[in-house]
Structure formats: C-alpha cells, structure tokens
Amino acid sequence: MQSHYLLGIDGGGTRCRARLTLNGTVLAETTGGPANVWSDYNAALQNVEQLTVQVMAQAGLPPQTLAQTILVAGLAGANIASVKARLASWQPPCVAVQVVSDVEIACIGAHAGEPGAVFITGTGSQGAAWNGEYFTLLGGWGFALSDQGSGAELGRRALRLALLAHEDIIEKTDFSTRLMAQFDDSPETMLLWSRDATPADWARVVPQIVAAAQTGDRHAYALLQQTAEDIGLMVRRLTRLSAGRLALMGGLAEPIQPWLAADTQARLVAPQYDALAGALILAQRINQ
C-alpha cells in the first residue's frame, strides 16, 4: 500500500479547519474563514484552497505535495444536490478528492467510523445517522427554512424579542435592553443590519444569551429552553434511526446541554473524535 498524505477539511458556517497527517502522525493543523458552499460557494472554496496552502506550508511541505495527498472535505451545504453536482467540477491537484457534508464527517468522527448518529448545533444545525453503509440526513436546508436548534436561529429569536421589548409589547429586561443598545436603540438600525446579516452574524449574540440566562434573566432563559426543545425534537428522530447512539456536536453543544430535557440528555453519548478525525478516517479508507 502506497503511503499518502491525508488532508481533512472541516468547513462550517463560521470557520474552516484543516488537519494534515502522514501514517497517523499529525503534521499540521490550521484554521481559516467559513466554508459554507450553499450560502457562498466561491468564497467557501477560496477559503478551503487558502487553508490547504497554509497547512502545507505549516508542515514545511511544498505546494506540489498535494499530488501525493488524499483530500476529504466535509463542507456545510454540500448535502444540497445542486451544490453537490457543482462540486464535481472542483478538482484540486490531489491524488484523490472526496467532498461530503460537514455533518457526515462529524458523524464518522463521533463514532470512530461505526454506526451512530450526530446532531450538529453550531451556527446552523443538521443531523445525520450512519448505519455502516449509508447516511440519513435531517435538516440542513438553510437558515430561512431549517436550522432548528442552531445559534443563528437562537440569535434571531433573541433580537426579535429585544425589538418586542423595546416597543413595550413584552416586558423589558436588562438583557433585552443591552441587545437593543447594540443597535443604538433604533429599530431602523436593526432593520438595516438584518438585510445583510449572515447566519454567523445572527449567532454572535449567543454568548450574551447564555450569560444572561445564567444570571436569571427570564427572557434569555426562555430562549435557551426553546432551543433545547428544538434540539430534543431532532435528537428523538435521530436516535430512532441509530439505535440510540447519538453525539451532540458543534459550538452550541456544550453551552446548551444543561438546558436539555432529561430524556434528551439520557440519549447522548460523548463523541469519540472530532469532525476532522472523521474526514481523515474517510481519507484512510480511500488510501487502503
């Protein structure tokens, strides 16, 4: 068996990570900008390509080493059929390339390649169940239609709530007042911001929501409970598809866990490895 460099890419809505290995040894790892091929195809692939150059340089390898490299990229939005078809024309100069969605590599990593399920709750959200032969995917249809239990949806609900409180439709709290102050207490300023806001922009208020809930703010508390209920809905379906083995992953997974219902928490298992490890497991299978 010829030994190749293995390059795993994990591209999400907020950031993209790369890890390069040889014979199981990590040579370099680096992080870059977002890589959601549905929301911004060209920018996503540009970030992936820049990250590929960076990780090679960090490992002290010339760019030509890509010709000896197997690349597996898990990219947000790659589950969309039209995007998947478009990605078929993306041909980095590697010995082999496989592009899947970021939730698929997360699922493979979480269960070390064995059957199981995962629900990613980060900027966006998506679930996947792997039976050892094929994936069943849930969600992942974009911020406008999907993303239940995600940071972006939580952030949007929080700003809507802040606007309601600002107009005295619901009770103001210190938390809602602080959110409106970020827009100079102006609904019009918030409206103009929302026209161009990305899912990552909406999700940026999540740490403030968590902090406010921990101090007892009732609005923040209710927002987290609602998000936890959305996650529970997805978790119940995914555990039916995976015989009960489900890992919760993503940037919101840790802060939201205390808010999950007891039956939801009881269904969770700890992920064995991260999404990048999942990409490298798939790359290793190509290498065999």
Instruction: Yes or no: say if 67 and 91 are a contact pair by the CB < 8 Å rule.
Output: no
Provide the whole-model pTM.
Answer: 0.85
The per-residue pLDDT for range 227-254, each reduced to its tens digit, is 999 999 999 999 988 877 899 998 999 9
Where on the phi/psi map is residue 88: left (φ > 0), alpha (ψ -120 to 50), or beta? Answer: alpha
pLDDT value at residue 2: 58
Q: What is the DSSP string of 255-278?
A: HHGGGS-HHHHHTB---SS-HHHH
pLDDT at 288: 79
Residues sharing a CB contact under 8 Å with residue 108, sequence separation 6 or more, in sequence order: 130, 278, 279, 281, 282
Q: Mapping DSSP to helix (H, G, I), strand (E, B) and coil, where does residue 51 land? A: helix
What pLDDT sits at residue 1?
A: 46
- Give the residue-averaged pLDDT of 173-200: 96
As given in the structure block, the two tokens for residue 199 are 């899912």
Question: Which residues are CB-neighbours of 29 under 8 A, at least 6 positions away?
Answer: 17, 18, 19, 20, 55, 58, 276
Mean pLDDT, residues 254-279: 94
| Rounded CA Rg of the chain | 20
* Structural contact between residues 228 and 260, judged by C-beta atoms closer than 8 angstroms: yes
Q: Looking at the predicted structure, is the pLDDT value of residue 19 above 90? A: yes
Identify the DSSP state of 54.
Answer: H
Assign domain 5-112+272-287 one CATH number from 3.30.420.40, 3.30.750.200, 3.40.640.10, 3.40.50.300: 3.30.420.40
Token pair 């990409």 in the structure block, residue: 279
DSSP 76: B
The CATH number of 151-266, from 3.30.420.40, 3.30.70.20, 3.40.50.11860, 2.40.160.60, is: 3.30.420.40
What pLDDT score was predicted for residue 132?
85
Name the segment(s) of the chain with CATH classification 3.30.420.40. 5-112+272-287, 151-266
Q: Are 79 and 126 in contact (CB under 8 A)?
A: yes
CA distance 278 to 72: 9
